[in-house]
Amino acid sequence: MLTLTIPELLYLLDITSILFFLYFLLKACKEVELSLSLRKIVNFAIYEIREGVTSLVAFIHFSIVMGIVLSTLYLCLNPLLVNSIIWYVLLFISIPFAAGLFVDIIWRVSVISKGLNILKYLKVESSFKRESMLFHTKVMLIIILTLSNMLLLWKSELFAINSLIFVVRNILLSIIFVKPLINTILNYDKPIHYFEIPFKLKDIIEGKAEIENMKTSIKNINDLSTRKKMSLSACLEIGICEDVCPATSVLRPLSPRVFIRKLAILMKNKLVDGDPFKVVDDDEVWSCTTCGACTYSCPIKVRHLEIILDLRRTLVESGIIDKTKANVLSSVATFGNTFRMINDGRNNWLKELGVKLIEENPDCKHLLWIGCLSSFDERQRRIVEAFIKILKKAGKLDEIAILGSLETCCGDPVRKLGDEGLFQEIVLKNIELFEKYNITSIITVCPHCYNAFKNDYRELGLKDIKVIHHAEFLDMLFESKTLSLKTIGKKITVHDPCYLARYNRITPLINTLEKIGSVRRPKMWGEKTFCCGGGGGNYWYEVPEKKRISHERLEQLLELKPDIIITFCPYCKAMLDDAAQAKELERLKILDAAELIFEVIKEDQQNIPSTDQL
d(CA 309, CA 306): 5
**One-letter amino acid for residue 46 of the chain:** I
Q: pLDDT tens digits for 408-438?
A: 999 999 999 999 999 999 999 999 999 999 9
Helix (H, G, I), strand (E, B) or coil at 400: strand
Q: Give the pLDDT confidence of 133-192 residue by residue, as tens digits.
A: 999 999 999 999 999 988 887 777 777 888 899 999 999 999 999 999 999 999 999 999
Question: Is 70 exceeded by the pLDDT of residue 83?
Answer: no
Q: Which of 98, 539, 28 is nearest to 325 (CA)?
A: 539
User: Do the beta carbons of residue 551 and residue 521 sit within 8 Å?
Assistant: no
Per-residue b or e along 481-494, where b marks 16 or more CB atoms closer than 10 Å to that residue's CB: ebbebeeeeeebbb
pLDDT for 606: 44
Collapsed DSSP state (helix, strand, coil) of residue 177? coil
Averaged pLDDT, 370-385: 96
pLDDT above 90 (res 482): no
Q: Identify the residue with better confidence: 86 or 44.
A: 44
pLDDT, residue 613, reads 39
How would you list the strands of the sheet with 589-592, edge to edge? 518-520, 491-494, 564-567, 589-592
Q: Average pLDDT, whole number, for the chain?
A: 91
Question: Model confidence over 527-573: pLDDT tens digits?
Answer: 999 999 999 999 999 999 999 999 999 999 999 999 999 999 999 99
pLDDT of 123 over the 80 cut: yes
Burial of residue 43, with CB atoms counted within 10 A of its CB: 0-12 exposed, 13-18 middle, 19 or more buried:
middle
Please write the tens of the pLDDT for every residue from 588-597.
Answer: 999 999 999 9
Given the candidates 3.30.1330, 3.40.50, 3.90.550, 3.40.1130, the CATH classification of the domain at 478-600 is 3.40.50
- Phi, psi for 239 (deg, rounded to 5): 95, -5
Domain segments of the chain: what residues?
A: 6-187, 201-320, 331-474, 478-600
The per-residue pLDDT for 612 is 39
pLDDT of 510 higher than 60: yes
What is the C-alpha separation between 575 and 578, in angstroms, rounded?
5
- In degrees and rounded to multiples of 5, residue 498 shows phi and psi of -60, -45
Separation CA 57–CA 125 (nearest Å): 28
Residues of the chain above pLDDT 70, percent: 96
In this predicted structure, what is the pLDDT of residue 607? 43
What is the fold of 201-320? Fumarate Reductase Iron-sulfur Protein; Chain B, domain 2 (1.10.1060)
Give the model's pLDDT for residue 80. 64
- Whole-Å CA distances, 377 to 381, 404, 411, 498: 6, 16, 18, 21
Determine the straight-line distance between the first and last CA of the chain, rounded to whole angstroms: 81
* Distance between CA atoms of residues 497 and 571, nearest Å: 9
The sheet carrying 400-401 orders its strands as 400-401, 366-369, 441-444, 466-469
pLDDT of residue 423: 97
Q: What is the DSSP string of 29-83?
A: HHHTT----HHHHHHHHHHHHHHTTT-HHHHHHHHHHHHHHHHHHHHHSHHHHTT
Q: Do domains 201-320 and 478-600 have the same CATH topology?
A: no
Q: Average the pLDDT over 74-95 and give the result.
A: 76
pLDDT number for residue 604: 47
Backbone angles phi, psi at 34, to 5 degrees: -100, 125
Contacts of 209 (CB under 8 A, 6+ apart): 199, 200, 203
Instruction: Please give the C-alpha separations between residue 295 and each of 29, 173, 206, 290, 554, in angstroms, as whole numbers.
Output: 21, 23, 35, 10, 23
pLDDT in the model for residue 603: 58
Q: Name which residue leads in pLDDT, 600 or 90.
A: 600
When pLDDT is averaged across residues 17-29 and rounded to a whole number, the result is 93
- Is the domain spanning 331-474 CATH 3.90.220? The answer is no
Per DSSP, helices labelled H in 270-403 are: 282-287, 293-297, 304-317, 323-335, 372-376, 378-393
Question: What element of type H or E holds 368?
Answer: strand 366-369
As a whole number of angstroms, the distance between CA 240 and CA 28 comes to: 25
Confidence (pLDDT) at 4: 67
Quickly state the pLDDT bin for 303 (edges 50, 70, 90): very high
3-class DSSP assignment, residue 530 = coil
